Amino acid sequence: MEICLVGGAVRDQLLGLEVKDRDWVVIGATPDEMRQQGFRAVGKDFPVFINPDSGEEYALARTERKSGHGYQGFTFHTDPSVTLEEDLCRRDLTINAMAIRSDGTLVDPYQGQKDLKAKVLRHISAAFAEDPLRVLRVARFAARFHPLGFSIAPETLSLMQQISASGELEHLSAERVWSEFERSLHGEFPLVFLECLKESHALERLLAELQQIDWDNAKRILNRLNALEPTAEQRFALISQLAFQSASHQGKLDAFCQRLKAPKRFQQAASDLLQWHTILASFEQQTAENRWKLIKSLKLLRQPERLACLLAPTLALHPEAPEDLGQKLSALLERMGQVSSAYWAAQGVKGKALGEAMEQAYLELAEEL
């Protein structure tokens, strides 16, 4: 039995990046031998085991053969006779097909280190085209390593286009498409992810609603947002607003989020921005009625975190908005939070009259700002 560090951990180590997750491949072992050593089996389609001490994944070396549609349409073969080089061959890109043996030796049969130095994302073999998920993965790597100057090899982009034309992308589940999209949103360059999908003709098949984005304008606005250290939800909200543009397209936004099965917090952030960014940006010029309408509609007295999520993409869309807008609104919400029904209840005011009295108090505070 031999255990080797593989994949992204090796790549990131060679790039001088922080290694966050480590994956291991085990050569010359059987599932029974792994269990006898205390590893816990978790894989259904192929043997993957969890180290009970570190929680890291250890996969038996395997080969694969295309047997159906989509990224799950593969038959895997694991056997102690499968070599490290054979296991590495089934991976997507050369830079992800390197391993480090237990003695520290680098195993690089497909010249991944050379492509790292050349900053090229290149497929290993024609088998790359058998897995449609790789179109999304390569786009995500292009976004992640964009600051380092990486680009997609022309022949790899050609294969990505072939996958798009084959109809295989239609077999990807909404969950997998969203998972790759969301991971790109945690970095500063989700637009690179989307542009790569566009170049590979996959955007129109997977995220067709985003095709109409003005990419040059979007990059300028996203750069302003990135300066505010946004969350993935805020980046998604901004991209959605740039695609759907008008509050009249709320229904289309909802359908988009539901089709992707995006988590509710992402859909809420996008909906809030689509509906309210214009009024929020001009909050100081709005009437007290409109100010209170925004606060009341967004339920900011009970959910002030919605303002925090809405504010950064609004400022990115409207650089003319005052920088202290968030501070003023937070101060207003704090004053409104001190309004208590007990004051009027002590005077015998109740029911509809009590609600009207509190509404008037909120409006008076909104007038002051």
Residue 37: per-residue pLDDT: 86
Per-position DSSP letters for 181-217, written without gaps between them: HHHHHTSS-HHHHHHHHHHTT-HHHH-GGGTT--HHH
Distance CA 4, CA 7 (A): 10
**Is pLDDT above 80 for 77?**
no
Beta bridge partners of 49: 41, 58
Relative to beta strand 120-121, strand 151-152 is parallel
Residue 66: per-residue pLDDT: 47
Confidence category of residue 74, pLDDT binned at 50, 70, 90: very low
Q: With both helix axes pointing from N to C terminus, report the angle between 133-144 and 154-166 in degrees, rounded to the nearest 10.
A: 140
Mean pLDDT of 302-330: 95
Tokens for 113, please give them: 């280190």
Residue 334: per-residue pLDDT: 94
| Residue 61 near residue 51 (C-beta atoms within 8 A) | no
Beta bridge partners of 64: 76
Q: From residue 165, give the alpha-carbon distance in Å to each of 76, 170, 192.
A: 26, 10, 21
Instruction: Return the H-helix or E-strand segment holding 309.
Output: helix 305-317
Residue 67: per-residue pLDDT: 42
| Helix, coil or strand: residue 57 | strand
Residue 158: per-residue pLDDT: 97
In this prediction, what percent of the chain has a pLDDT beyond 70? 95
The residue type found at 150 is F
Per-residue pLDDT tens over the stretch 167-216: 999 999 999 999 999 999 999 999 999 999 999 999 999 999 999 899 99
Q: Phi-psi bin for 70: left (phi > 0), alpha (psi -120 to 50), beta? A: left
Residue 348: per-residue pLDDT: 84
Tokens for 27, please give them: 């050569």
* pTM (predicted TM-score): 0.89
Residue 46: per-residue pLDDT: 67
**Averaged pLDDT of the chain:** 92
Confidence category of residue 54, pLDDT binned at 50, 70, 90: confident
**Is pLDDT above 60 for 366?**
yes
- Per-residue burial over 149-178, b if 16 or more Cβ lie within 10 Å, else e, is ebbbbeebbebbbbbbeeebbebbeeebbb
Mean pLDDT of 110-124: 97
Greater model confidence, 40 or 179: 179
**Is pLDDT above 70 for 68?**
no
Greater model confidence, 126 or 112: 112
Query: 55-59, 78-82, 165-169: which range is least confident on average?
Result: 78-82
Tokens for 230, please give them: 């946004």
Distance CA 148, CA 146 (A): 5
Phi and psi at residue 332, to the nearest 5°: -65, -45
Mean pLDDT of 107-131: 95
Residue 75: per-residue pLDDT: 59
Number of CB atoms found within 10 A of residue 320's CB:
7
The residue type found at 95 is I
| DSSP 8-state class, residue 40 | E
Place of tokens 């997977």: 206
Distance CA 156, CA 126 (A): 9
Smallest Cα–Cα separation from 361: which of 310, 348, 342?
342
Smallest Cα–Cα separation from 184: which of 197, 171, 173?
197
Instruction: List, in order of start, the domains of the chain with CATH numbers.
Output: 1-117 (3.30.460.10), 119-211 (1.10.110.30), 212-337 (no CATH)
